[in-house]
């Protein structure tokens, strides 16, 4: 089946990129440096280069259904090598934000729920607390992985490397009001 080009998705995603200095991903020449450099490319449904082409072509459904941007390890290898100066990592973040904002992501991915749990912990306490994050992912593990993870945690606990009580910052009320100035409605709590 053939498709037709629509450019609204490209513009929506562009507008989600603030600090990437006008991240010019429509300037992509499809050379593949990003995907050749990417340490996770082999595990992605589409390579980062393909995702850029798909965003530029407006293939929103296929992009949001893909695991590509949830598999980005934020290693920035693509970004520093891109001959067109495109911040591909930032584009991956933008797609993650878009996907969470629209609540549209593929079933079974750990990334979205982990990110949300992580973010919630921070806005509630000002700090991260590893044990509270575990439920967001551990039940999605295969049985062997599950036990391995529990074993790791136990060993770390014995070595005194896992916190027992959630830490929190002192001026938490100020901190929460600060966040409300950035995200005035919802988001927090």
List binders of another protein among 6-25 (CB under 8 A): 16-19, 21
Instruction: Output the smallest distance, CB 107 to another protein, in A.
Output: 14
Instruction: Kindly state the helix (H) or strand (E) to which residue 62 belongs, with its residue range.
Output: helix 60-65
Minimum separation from the CB atom of position 11 to another protein (A): 17
According to the binding rule CB under 8 A, does residue 166 interact with another protein?
Answer: no
Residue entry with tokens 């700090």: 127
**What does the DSSP 8-state code read for residue 119?**
H
C-beta neighbour count of 10 within 10 angstroms: 19
What is the C-alpha to C-alpha distance for residues 17 and 112, in angstroms, rounded to an integer?
19
Q: Is 65 in the site for another protein (CB under 8 A)?
A: no
Task: Please choose, out of 3-11, 39-47, 57-65, the segment that lies near another protein by the rule CB under 8 A.
Answer: 39-47
Burial of 73 (0-12, 13-18, 19+ CB in 10 A): exposed
Report the residue number, 61 or 131, with the smaller CB distance to another protein: 131
Cβ closest to another protein, residue 11 vs residue 80: 80
d(CA 70, CA 67): 5
Per CB under 8 A, contacts with another protein among 123-152 are: 126-128, 130, 133, 137, 141, 144-145, 148, 151-152
Q: Does 102 bind another protein (CB under 8 A)?
A: no
């Amino acid at each position: 089946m053939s498709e037709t080009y629509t450019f609204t998705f490209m513009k929506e995603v562009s507008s989600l990129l603030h600090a990437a200095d006008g991240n010019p991903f429509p300037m992509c020449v499809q050379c593949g440096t990003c995907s050749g450099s990417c340490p996770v490319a082999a595990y992605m449904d589409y390579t980062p280069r393909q995702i850029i082409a798909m965003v530029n072509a407006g293939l929103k459904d296929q992009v949001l259904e893909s695991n590509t941007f949830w598999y980005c390890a934020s290693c920035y290898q693509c970004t520093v090598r891109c001959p067109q100066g495109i911040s591909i990592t930032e584009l991956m973040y933008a797609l993650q934000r878009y996907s969470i904002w629209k609540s549209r992501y593929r079933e079974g991915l750990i990334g979205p729920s982990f990110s949300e749990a992580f973010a919630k912990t921070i806005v509630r306490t000002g700090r991260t607390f590893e044990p509270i994050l575990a439920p967001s992912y551990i039940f999605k593990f295969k049985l062997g992985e599950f036990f391995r993870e529990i074993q790791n945690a136990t060993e770390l606990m014995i070595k005194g490397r896992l916190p027992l009580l959630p830490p929190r910052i002192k001026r938490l009320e100020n901190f929460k009001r600060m966040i409300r100035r950035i995200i005035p409605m919802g988001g927090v709590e």
